[in-house]
Amino acid sequence: MSQSFASSESGNQHTRVTSRAKPGFLERLSETAGGMVVGLGLFALSFYVLFTNEGRALRTAASLDEGLSQVIPLHPYSGLEPQNNGNLVHLSAKLRTAQPLHDPNYRVALQAVKLKRQVEMYQWVEYQESRDYVEDGEQKSETTYTYNTEWKSEVINSRNFDKEIGHMNPSAMAVESVTVVAPEVWVGPFLLSKGLVDQINNFQTLSLTGLPPSHVDPFLTVDGDYFYHTHNPRRPEVGDVRVSFSYAGLSGEGTWPGPALTVSTVAMQRGEQLTPFKTKSGDPLEILYMEELTAKEVFEREHQHNSMMTWALRAGGWALMFLGVSLTVRIVHTMVDWVPILRELVSLGLKLFALTVSSSLSLLTIAAGWLYYRPLVAILLCALALLPILLGRSRAPTKKHQ
């Protein structure tokens, strides 16, 4: 393999060209065979995704219907009602925590469920853009490397750069990112389970505007919503650090930075705790929305979420199957790609074949998932899946006659 190297005048951009002999037929056939193995794996995975998705969707829908028929609405200001123990309950009330969350390093204190410290470092970042072409009977690849300085929340290892000289980054950050969670979170008279607390994730940036000077360390500089570990934040150097804060689930009585958040929960009452409710259909119900909703509205949102997830997984399963079929049959294209006209025709035919097969098999797999729960819908899907084949057979005698 031969290489040539050229560097621009700025020093932050250069181009590298690599060349190798154009691969022969056997080498290309070997590469295609490797793609076939990957394609078969994706093809098998698509069946699993499509089939299990239908069972999951139906089970979730049945669990939600079961929950709606059993849920008991509670008044936000009512006390504990022992007769509801073990039952599914719905409650809309404000969040409450015992004490503020602190970050002593930056003297930040806030009454909230979660407080996140986000740390960024000014570093070199490498970008590359490549193009392949054939020249003088050789396969060449031209890659242009560009280096910029940016704020990044993760450490970028400059040792992996194509040109590290002049673009070296520190190996670690002086300060680490961290998220602090309140040990106890209450809604009305109930203590939330860990699963419900995990769903409180409406993070918002904490504004540092108006922060008293006494709350700022003299070695730090405040600019915008960031603490800078430098005296000149407008002209940072590689290695400089800045820190921002965000919060989720305000739970204080004061007015800064806002009132306590009202949430709506659906879970099982167990003493003074809200815990997952196990449905007969199989799915546990432990739901939290960060707004005031009735029980019916909560379950309608969950049905919408279930429907969106179902269609997203269906599309993902079909895409996996299409890619799997395309990789599996690509060996046919490799065997004829030395004939230009035949190569284009075969390529188009293989794409149409992959589209038809993946669409039909996806519908059949979805129908198989529905067969136990919705037999009539499954039969209709099977008919749609077989439609391309039936149309093709019906046109065959006409073509032969012509």
Task: Name the residue ranges covered by the structural domains of the chain.
Answer: 26-80+290-396, 81-271
Q: Is the pLDDT of residue 194 over 90?
A: yes
- Per-residue pLDDT at 198: 96
Q: Comparing 13-17, 260-264, 333-337, 369-373, which segment has the lowest mean pLDDT?
A: 333-337
Give the pLDDT confidence score for residue 215 in this predicted structure. 58
Higher pLDDT, 78 or 333: 78
Please tell me the least confidently modeled range out of 14-18, 25-29, 215-219, 393-397: 25-29
Comparing 3 with 211, which gets the higher pLDDT?
Answer: 211
What is the pLDDT confidence band of residue 5, given thresholds at 50, 70 and 90?
very low
Percent over 90 (pLDDT), the chain? 50
For the residues 199-219, what does the mean pLDDT come to?
A: 78
Mean pLDDT value across the chain: 84
pLDDT at 213 over 90: no
How high is the pLDDT of residue 244? Answer: 95
Task: Read off the pLDDT of each residue in 30-47 and give the average, rounded to a whole number.
Answer: 81
pLDDT at 368 (0 to 100): 79
In the prediction, which pLDDT does 212 show?
Answer: 59
For residues 41 and 353, the model is more confident at: 41
pLDDT digits (tens, 9 = 90+) for 141-170: 888 999 999 999 999 999 999 888 989 999
Mean pLDDT along residues 200-207:
93
The predicted structure's pLDDT at residue 157 = 95
Percent of the chain with pLDDT over 70: 80
Residue 219 banded pLDDT, cuts 50, 70, 90: confident
3-class secondary structure per residue, the chain: CEEEEEECCCCCEEEEEEEEECCCHHHHHHHHHHHHHHHHHHHHHHHHHHHHHHHHHHHHHHHHHHHHHHCEECCCCCCCCHHHCCCEEEEEEEEEECCCEEECCCCEEECEEEEEEEEEEEEEEEEEEEEEEEECCEEEEEEEEEEEEEEECCCCCHHHCCCCCCCCCCCCCCCCCEEEECCCEEECCEEECHHHHHCCCCCEECCCCCCCHHHCCCCCEEECCEEECCCCCCCCCCCCEEEEEEEEEECCCCCCCCCCCEEEEEEEEECCEEECEECCCCCEECEEECCCCCHHHHHHHHHHHHHHHHHHHHHHHHHHHHHHHHHHHHHHHHHHCCCHHHHHHHHHHHHHHHHHHHHHHHHHHHHHHHCCCCHHHHHHHHHHHHHHHHHHHHHHHHHHHC
Query: What band does 12 get if pLDDT is binned at 50, 70 and 90?
Result: confident
**Band (401; pLDDT cuts 50, 70, 90):** very low
**Which of the pair, 142 or 123, is modelled with greater confidence?**
123
What is the average pLDDT across 100-115?
91
Least reliable range by pLDDT among 85-99, 182-196, 213-227, 269-283: 213-227
Instruction: Report residue 116's pLDDT band, with 50, 70 and 90 as the boundaries.
Output: very high
